[in-house]
Chain A
Amino acid sequence: MDDFILEMKGISKEFPGVKALQNVTFQVRRGEIHALVGENGAGKSTLMKILSGLYPYGTYGGDVVFDGQVQKFTETRDSEKAGIAIIYQELALVKHMTIAENIYLGDEICGNAGWIDWNETYQRTAKVLREVGLKLSPAARVIDIGVGSQQLVEIAKALSKDARLLILDEPTAALTETETDNLLKILGSLQQKGVTCIYISHRLNEVMSIADRITVLRDGRTICTDEKVSMTVDRMIHNMVGRELTNMYPRKERPVGDTVLEVKNWTVRDPVTDDVVCDDMSFRARKGEILGIAGLMGAGRTELVMSLFGVWGKRQSGEVWLEGKKLANRSAIDAISAGISLVSEDRKRYGLVLGMDVKENSTLASLDRISKLGIINKNEEIKSAGQYVKELRTKTPSLEQPVRNLSGGNQQKVVIAKWLLTRPKVLFLDEPTRGIDVGAKVEIYNIMNGLVDQGVCVIMISSELPEVLGMSDRILVVHEGRITGDLPRAEATEEKVMHCATSGS
């Protein structure tokens, strides 16, 4: 008989018109690391919200059994008290407070008089920080530490509340590889100490390296729960999407055309710190190719494309030539009218006006094409937005749907539609598949191929090596602001790219 710390039995949850979960069974053994995988919309978040008490007892069917007892959580505080801690993808730390203040936020250690006992607070904080392997002062402000450390602070916060079941939702989405390795190591050591962990991730390799058992959800149903040893990445993907993804990277052979974009000696400084972020970078991009830009986080890739687009940095020197014409690109306005578009890495921050609907977001950068004397032709607007909804297979109930309500993959398609409507010659894609599910990724890849066929020059930044290697015709590797590798597809291997990205030679 297995010793389950958590059993969710026959869980069902309905939203108006949608059966989010149907008879889901999810069992976690005491002391294991249990991975929960599935596409976006498969029901992982809903399941975790039921577990945390965010969806209170009575609004769902089935039983949550924790520590052998049926739990009737009505708010998140109840589940916390029971020893369940959830760490969400978007970290819930107060940026301007110190680590110690954050860890004891809402649970401050008070003396008899009711004042906060800071000595005790800092001492206990130092202790939990050691447990998660963070060598930081408890008095450091959260804003000054890296994302990886912030993640660990969240875990420390959970430990300080004596959490016995730790749930991590996409913990490594924003982490670099070293940080990821570190996190996985910490989780391993917590497991030694008896903490049970539910690990939700899209990164299947991580799942394979850390999990003891794996549960796959699809369309609100449990597809399988298996020991890791009997699972492979391919089988996981198969179970997640319900079909074989025979070719994850649908790359096509294409003839390479003329140079479209040429960047010469591009040097840019950070406007705040004045550090050189792009150091004498020169490269060309040709018609009919996908140019991949690889490198570690913070290497200067995003800064490179943002500065080429005219929206970031203090320009030092260098030239941009587009189809033989030199560009000024002092702002996004110049870049767009010259034919350059940028799908940025953070679609919610830079890409979308979340309260606006699909059609308004789609046409935002190309309103001049559908207006006369500043007046928008609304019918033309519906037509052009509708055309791209069809072409990109964006799933939305209507063009009037606020983009806030769409899933990540569909939001990304709206951003892409916005830029395609400006009819770009060069399209920068900065982490185009971040945070979207496997199926939508493949669709984005197909869109990229389609664009290249139409003669658009596509330049893609990606931190996922298989993606860069799978999709690019040529790969630039960036290391500390310099281009350290320019590899044709035939020569590029994971080892070579990583070598250029880390050592810079």
Chain B
Amino acid sequence: MNEAVKGTPSVKEGGVKDLIVDSIKHNTKQYTMFIALIAIWVIFTFLTDSVFLTARNLSNLFVQTVTTAILAIGMVLIIVAGHIDLSVGSVLGFAGAVCAMFMIKLEWGVVPSVLATLLVGLAIGTWHGFWVAYRKVPAFIVSLASMLAFRGLIIGITGGQTQGLEMAPEAAANSFKLIGQGYLPTIAAAAEGHVHDTSLYCSVAVIALFVASGLRKRAARMKYGFTVLPLNLEILRLAFLSAIIGTFAMIMVMYLGIPWSVVLVLALAVLFSFIAGNTRFGRHLYAIGGNPEAAKLSGIDIPRRTLALWMIMGVMTAVAGIVYTARLNAATTSAGQNAELDAIAAAVIGGTSLLGGEGTIFGAVIGALVMASLDNGMSLMNLDITFQYVIKGLILLLAVWVDMAQRKK
């Protein structure tokens, strides 16, 4: 207080050093998660005689991550706003079954079937949102009710039978399959070599975009007169991150190219990161989860935001259901069982606080990768299913404990 009285400036104009220290402090959590993921990969590489680290396996791993990642992206926002959604597993299965029935029984094409399924997801989300936002029923109960109800409805519409998509008209079935199993097409004949040209070009384009946006952000900060990293350090930072993106891309380029479903996840992750960090809607969700009373007094329309949030979650679940069904090429009655737990675990491993108000999309995607890596690695090792469950449970416990211990510091 004394300094303030003397009239010295009360806020430090952060220097470059502060900027770096701040950014490391801010992102410790994300770095630790990333390091943990790499550690898991190294362990599995040893335990599986390097089978785990092959381009083929990693590429498969990414595809296996997709449904959990999509659900986790939505789940982060739900948990950030102070809710929980236990229904995503059942709703995922239901949406997949609905989509399959559109194609098999009604013989609709892929586009109308997918669009109609998204609408069904939207409707389910609206239903949840109505009860949570306007009837003030706890989300736990609303979604628990749907978890039961939609598991039943899946059986109702599939007649309790697995509905293989080969029963749908062939053209539609083939293009539907691409959503879950297909890769970016190649222009030049790629068969002889291992280079998938479009995938490669796309990766390069993404990296270029990433670098450009990084530089643009820096320019904007300079325009406002804020501290920025010196150009050489900034270039080093961008180069480092580009190398990471490049490595992931190359893994897929070296196998069959980038899968459509991975493209979808990345697009959703970028979109939702933007929504979470840069829009009023996102900011409002964090405020509602952090302190609902302060949010209300700050003029935030909590019911409206909550309804919109659940509608988004409904659509995301439908997207996950479509991808899941396309990957399996069939709608089954057990589709999506326990998917809600994987999604919640992914979000929580990714640093989302179950108390609300805290969490990142990037973290949840890494969390989903961790969960899928465990599944994938342990299957490769032919580990008894008993241990697979036990280990996954313990890892979840450990991850949250590490996170809480870090937070205390």
Contact = CB atoms under 8 A, between A and B. Distances in A.
B164 interface: no
A31 to B, nearest CB: 35
Interface in A371-401: 371, 374-376, 378-379, 382-383, 386, 389-390, 393-400
8 smallest beta-carbon distances between A and B, as pairs: A353-B290, A439-B1, A365-B298, A393-B10, A336-B299, A353-B291, A333-B299, A393-B4
A371 B11 contact: no
Interface string A237-258: 0000111000000000000000
Given A354-B290, A443-B4, 11 more contacts: A351-B297, A364-B300, A367-B284, A376-B278, A390-B10, A395-B1, A395-B4, A398-B18, A422-B299, A440-B1, A443-B1
Interface stretch (B135-143, B178-186, B218-226, B378-386): B218-226
Contacts of B294: 349-353, 364
A418 to B, nearest CB: 7
Interface in B289-328: 290-291, 293-301
Interface string B1-41: 11111000111101000100010001000000000000000
B6 to A, nearest CB: 10
Contacts, number: 124
A382 B358 CA distance: 20
A364 B297 CA distance: 10
Interface string A393-432: 1111111100000000100000000100010000000000
A390 to B, nearest CB: 6
Interface residues of A, number: 55
B292 to A, nearest CB: 9
Interface of A: 39, 41, 219, 241-243, 309, 311, 331-333, 335-337, 342, 344, 349-356, 360, 364-365, 367-368, 371, 374-376, 378-379, 382-383, 386, 389-390, 393-400, 409, 418, 422, 437, 439-440, 443
Interface string B116-138: 00000000000000000000000
Nearest to A312: B297
A399 B298 contact: no
A356 B299 contact: no
A333 B301 contact: yes
Given A379-B224, A390-B9, A398-B14, A353 B295 contact: yes
A309 B298 CA distance: 11
A353 B287 contact: yes
B5 A399 contact: no
B283 A367 contact: yes
Contacts of A393: 4, 10
A409 B296 CA distance: 23
B287 A396 contact: no
A379 B286 CA distance: 19
A98 to B, nearest CB: 28
16 contacts: A39-B1, A241-B1, A309-B297, A336-B299, A344-B297, A350-B293, A351-B297, A353-B286, A354-B291, A376-B279, A379-B223, A394-B10, A394-B11, A400-B26, A418-B298, A439-B2
Interface centre among A242, A309, A332, A399 (most CB of B within 10 A): A332
Contacts of B357: 353, 355-356
B108 interface: no
Contact of A379 (B9, B226, B301): B226
Contacts of B1: 39, 41, 241, 395, 409, 437, 439-440, 443
A378 to B, nearest CB: 7
B297 A332 contact: yes
B281 interface: yes
Given A398-B11, A398-B22, A374 B291 contact: no
